[in-house]
Structures are given as C-alpha cells and as structure tokens.
Amino acid sequence: MKKDILFVSPFEDLYKTAKHLIKIHGFEEIDVEMGDLEEGVEKARLAVDNGTRVLISRGGTYNLILKEVDVPVVEVGLTAFDILKSFKLTRQIKEPLAIIGYRNVIKGYDIIEELFSDMDVIKITLDNTDSVEARIRECVEQGVKVVVGDTVVNRIAPKCGCKSLLIESGEEAVLSAMKEAIRVLKAAQAESDRMQRFMAVIDYTSDGVIATDKDGRITVFNRNAENMLGKTKEKAKGQLISQVIKDNEISKLVGSRSIKVDSIYDLGNTKLALNHVPIFVDGDDTGSIITFQDITKIQSLEKKIRLELSKKGFVAKYTFQDIIHKSSIMQRCIKRARTYGEYDSSVLISGPSGVGKEIFAQSIHNTSKRRTGPFVPINCAALPVNLIESELFGYVEGAFTGAKKGGKPGIFEMAHKGTIFLDEISELPLDLQARLLRVIQEREVMRVGDDKVIPVDVRIICATNRDLKTMVLDGGFRRDLLFRINILSLNIPSLNERKEDIKVLTSYFIDLYCGEYGKDTIGISSDALEYLECFNYEGNVRELQGMIERAVITCDGNEMRLENILESDSEGADILTANRSNIFDEEHTLKELESKYIDYISSKYNNSKQEICNVLGIDRTTLWRKKKKT
C-alpha cells in the first residue's frame, strides 16, 4: 500500500539519510525511493496515481517533478551548515573552480563569500537541467578544473574533463523537509475533509448547483445538477457552461456577470427557476454560482406542504377566484384585498355576519408570500374565557389542573411563518388584549406557566362585525390594540348593498346543492328570483345559501318556484302555513302574492313602518305606494 508521502532521492547517500531519519523519528507516512531526474519523475507519477499526496525531492529532480505532478512537492534545501561545510571543502581546493547550482545554493555562497573575500570562485546560476553540460564546458574553457554542484553536475562533469564535488544536504535539511511534508499533508487532509463536507452539503441540497471560473468553465457540478441536466460531473467539469446547458440566454447571463434571482427558463421539457450570482474576491472576478430548481418539483413540494398542513387543519382553502360576485362594489373590495396580499402588515376586516370575512382572510393569505405557511383561524367568541389564553399562547406541563403532559403550543406558535386569523376580535377580554398587543409588538410569546419567550413570525388578520371605534370610546376595546390591528382595513359590504350579486350567487348555490344531493340541475322561476332580489338579508350570503339549500331539497321539478323559496324562508313559511289553502289552491298573480306578503309582515310587526321597510328592504315611499295599489 502506497504511503501518503514519497521521498524521491536522487543519490544513495541522501536515500540512506532519509531512511535513517524515518526510522528514528517514526515517520510512518513517509516512504523513500531512489530516482534521479527522469527516473525520479516517473516514480513520482506512479506514486501519485496510486494515492500518494505529497512528494519530497532535491535539486534538478525536484524541479522536474514540480512541473509534472498536481500534488504538493517539498524541496530538500540546504541549511547554512550545509553551505558552510561545502565552502570549507572548496577553500581546500587550490585549483580554479566553479560553483554551479540553483538560486538558493548560489545565494547562500554569495552571503558566505562576503565574509571570506580571498576566494576567486566562478558562480553559475542554473535555470534548468538542459543547460548544465553547456555551462560546465563554458567553465572548462575558462580554465576551471573543479566544479561544485548537485548530483546532475557531478554526473556530467567527468564527461567534460573536470573534477567535481557534491554539495550534500545534511540531516537537518532532510528532517526539515520531512516535517514540512507532514505539515503540508495535514493541511491537504484538512482541506480535503472541508471540501468533502462542502460537496456533501452541495450534493444534498435540493437545488442544482453549478460553479464556474472567470472563463465560464465549470468547477462544481452537484448531484442534482447531474439529475436535472443529464450530465455526470466528470463530463461537465472543465467544460464551458454553454457546452453543458444549451441555452443562449443562460450563457449570456453567465457572461454578463449580472445578478439574477428567480428567473424562469425553459430547458427542453423542463422549466427551471434559476438564480445567478457573480463571485468577486477582493474586487477580482473569480467566477459565478448558478442555482436552479425544477419548477414541477417546487410545485410538488408546495402540494406536499399544503397536504401536511391540511391534515392539521391549518390550510387556507379559498382564493379570490372563489368569491362569487358581479357588482362593482365587490370588485373594488377584492381589488383592495389583493393589494393587501402583497404586504405583511396587519389587516382588520369588518362587516356584518355572513358576508364571508374568513374567505377574504384566506384569499389574502393565499396571495401573500406566506401562502405555503399555515393559516390558523380562531373564533374569539367561541372559546370559554378561561381557555382563550392557553389556546392563544400555549402552556407548559403543570401550568394548571388538566394541562396536557409535555404542554401544548398556542396558535401563535402553530402559525409561525404563516397567518393567524382572529375572528370576532371584539370578544377578546381586555386583559388578553394587552397580551395580544405585546405579541404583535415584540413578535414573541410566553406560554402560560413559563418564563421563557418564544420568537414567532406571523401575520395577523382580524375580523369583526362590531364598531371597534365605538367600543374604544365605551372602554370595551383597547385603543392601542386597534391602532396595531387596523393598519390595513377592509370593509365587506352586506348582501343588501350588492343586490346585483344575488342572481349569480343563487345560480352558484343551486348548482352546488344539486350536485351535492345528486339532483339534475334545475332552473329558477322569475318570480322566485325577484323575491330573492327583494328580500332583506339579515344573515347576508350565509342566509341566502341556507335558503337555496332548503329550496333545492324541497324542489321536486326542474324549476325552483316561489313556493320552494317561501318554504325555505321562516317568514314566508308562516304565510304558507296560514294561507296555503287560499294562496296555492288556485292560481295567484305575483302582485297578489306580494300584497298578501306585505299584509303578513305588517301584521307581524304591528304595522311599524320602519320595521316593515327593514324586512322588505324598501323605503317608506315605496311601501306607501304598494299599499295604496292594494
């Protein structure tokens, strides 16, 4: 098994020194092999192919290896003692000599020569091994008899007709190189571990991730990029982005160095949501990061999230498309509500009971950036006073008698990253209004019986059928809380204010209940529809819905008639019960039915003109005119 570090020794004495140091210092991660120049390079290549991560060598062999491999290479240098030792030997030589070596050797001799100026030595600095023989012959032509240098110099010198002296690296230099190689190995291992962790994170992120260098060549290509683009990272890395993603717009985007977020691109049969960010290090352009997701996967994930929330009952089912209307007043109301969906401020929805305030709240949620989060509704009037606090804010184990083991989160915690809908906010007790105000201001809750706060990120939509400003004046509602929840206000008109919607609503409810009860679709007679359009709806859409449901059940033909409507209306039902024989036993005109109905309402409300007009949905002048005609 190959070791992590290989010492390539150009000559035998260095080989022996390295083996000796490995043994006495216990360097188990280092191996030694003999190899000079090309032989050394070949052994280095083979070792790297088999997993060696750091190399050590000396002189010309070091320089050759450095150019041929992609792993760190540590040079066995020369210590001051090594240079002094060789300098001492050269001083003993009385013949003309030259020192031939690489820059570090010559520089070392220059420093020592300044101390001993009595020597006349030719110094030749080598740049590469190809010039060694030529440089030695130049020295010989100048009368040099001895050359001093490394293994290469000593091997070539005899061919040039001169003597040679080897500059050796001592134990100190070899030991220093080994320790440096071990340090480099540990740093490489740490970097490798860091890169593996980084790639693990990149590979298991839900996005496809591609990184490029400044030339647009791919350096990172994660697993999801492989899956989405049908290319392996081995084939993709090193290629231009245009060679991997066949889309001119994306190639231009990478070349433009501009930031792009949530852009939609068609790539064959796949739609991608793509982000692009250029990378600058110390102001220098170093490349780009591209992240992208398959839009169908995003839609699938959103569906899964909604399914999970649906299981808990925390999902908004309605959107603005579900609001049945025709009137301009409702169109304006919906337009304003859509605008509110773009913001995160609190909304106060007002309007009488039955107008559909929760449908609007759900629609606003489904238009907002929180649409994938929970929608948690609570009716403040439906909870017992002693339970409201624990339902809103939650409680810890043992907070009160009957508290659930382990405690329970409140609706604010359950609505985290979503919307909380507080219906009938006017019914919240004053002491809890103060706590609600704090939650809105501080964005944190404290469970009942606990002393720790929990951060929450929720949007609050409130609804009321009462006049909160009047309640503030009467002391029934906190002024500061009203200011907080009424940042955006929305008033839903009553059904009596939008009579033109009654026809489309009636048609919708007829189709709905015919389908629900397995009946063939039925129509509605003109007099029945006219009755519904003239009716005074105290319960708004909810009341109309109930009337149509009962009428569908009682209708046994293919058309809903006034009789069915009157049977479904409690006031009309009284007429039907009291006067069935003289109304429906023979033919009656709509005018006669209207007259009888006015008489019935007049009798029921003791001829109080105001109450009669309220029920009939007409003014006093119209009432007087109709009575005069009868």
Q: DSSP letters along 114-171, please?
A: HH-TT---EEEE-S-GGGHHHHHHHHHHTT--EEEESHHHHHHGGGGT-EEEE----H
Q: Write down the pLDDT at residue 195.
A: 82
Q: Which residues of the chain have pLDDT under 50?
A: 116, 572-573, 575-585
Q: Write down the pLDDT at residue 579.
A: 43
One-letter amino acid at 311 equals K
Q: How far is CA 226 from the centre of its chain?
A: 20
Q: Write down the pLDDT at residue 192.
A: 84
| Model pLDDT for residues 575-624, shown as the tens digit of each residue | 444 444 444 445 567 777 777 778 777 766 667 777 788 778 787 778 77
Q: Write down the pLDDT at residue 447.
A: 86
d(CA 47, CA 27): 18
Q: Write down the pLDDT at residue 261.
A: 80
Strand order in the sheet with 5-9: 30-34, 5-9, 54-57, 73-75
Q: Write down the pLDDT at residue 580.
A: 41
Q: What is the DSSP letter of 396?
A: -
Strand partners of residue 559? 523
For the chain, list the domains and their CATH numbers. 5-77+173-183 (3.40.50.2300), 80-168 (3.40.50.10660), 205-297 (3.30.450.20), 315-493 (3.40.50.300), 499-629 (1.10.8.60)
| Model pLDDT for residues 325-382, shown as the tens digit of each residue | 999 999 999 999 999 999 999 999 999 999 999 999 999 999 999 988 889 998 888 8
Q: Write down the pLDDT at residue 468.
A: 94
